[in-house]
Amino acid sequence: MDLTYTEEEQDFRVRLRAWLAKVLPELPAKPSPDDWPGRRAYDLGWQRRLYEAGYAGLHWPVDAGGRGATPTQHLIFLEEAERAGAPYVGANFVGLLHAGPTVAAEGTAEQRARWLPPVLRGDEVWCQGFSEPDAGSDLASLRTRAVRDGDDYVISGSKIWTSHAEVADWCELLVRTDPGAPKHRGISWLAMPMDAPGVSVRPLRTLAGSAEFAQVFLDEVRVPVANRVGAENDGWRVTMVTLSFERGTAFVGEVVACRRTLGELARTAKANGRWDDPVLRRRLGRLYGEFGALWRLTQWNVSEAERSAGGVPGIGGSVFKLAYSHARQELYDTAAEVLGARSLSLEEEWTLDRLSSLSYTIAAGTSQIQRNIVAERILGLPKGR
């Protein structure tokens, strides 16, 4: 018996485990990786089941439509869902893990009522329109323009690396509303309907052969001013809230998945003889310790977020993001050592995961950016000139 769990939390685990055991065999077959409409339907179908069973939005506050569960119950849910092989959030990870929480923390009552219930029910998908082709890692140098015209903004520009844009209903969009202001002060955060006239989507194929990313072109797209979250030109502050969720709590389930993969690696190494290599064993042992520490850091970040005003994670999320990105890459480099020549085959799941892991030191803020945040905001070091 784990004495760190209360009786109520133990009961929550038992009920959840029983529900997963009942419902998972009833799920339809997963669609092809390239069938994005099919994957959208599959992912939203799972979200709807969670909603109907009372497990959707465990990490969201009650006044935002969430369940108001404790941080420990949230973590128990992630552990049990991963252990049972349940579907992940999939195509709607933006809506569930950072756009939705941002609206919950920063939106008006009307905005929360409009956008949050459909995310939790599995009715609508969101994508993220932050990165731009010419901005690189300097997100604040974005050039997409939004000109006020009465009750609308008229938007022109383009975004890149927009996950699941081709199946999204809404986009959390950063635009420049005051080109004359210092670059961090002339930005606004908008919710843009993806079916608005002037929006076009061009899928991008990755190294692994998948097409979950897209470039989005905006040609005089009209978005109501009422869709702005936060004040005009205060979008950079709102963006920091979004990035806090993205870095601080959005990767929680993936840590659980990596710990499971580590166990599978050890079993595979014992079966194919690679376990006899002491260097590999030491590497697996060190990764075991590192992911254990990351899980503890995850628990702390989730607890801190759910105790804070609006449930916004703190700057500890940058510590997690930096450490996790590199640990994940090393995990799948180690998988390549265990697989040997098989690691060159795209038919191997770990090969695809390894290719995907290459993006983690770039996505959600590069490792260089995270080091700057840790140095300046946690360690108090001076800013570079």
Q: Specify the pLDDT at position 200.
A: 96
- Mind telling me the catalytic residues? 246
Residue segments in the chain with a per-residue pLDDT below the cut of 70:
1-4, 136, 207-209, 245-251, 301-317, 355, 357-365, 367, 369, 373-379, 384-385
Burial label for 263, CB within 10 Å (0-12, 13-18, 19+), is exposed
Query: What are the b/e assignments for 16-25, b being 16+ CB within 10 Å?
Result: beebbeeeee
Q: Specify the pLDDT at position 258.
A: 85
Whole-angstrom distance, CA of residue 166 vs CA of residue 37: 9
Tens-digit pLDDT profile for residues 28-49: 998 887 788 899 999 999 999 9
Q: Specify the pLDDT at position 316.
A: 64
Q: Specify the pLDDT at position 228.
A: 98
Threshold 0.95, pTM exceeds: no
- The upper half-sphere exposure of residue 90, i.e. CA atoms within 13 Å in the direction of its Cβ, equals 25
Tens-digit pLDDT profile for residues 238-255: 988 887 766 555 567 778
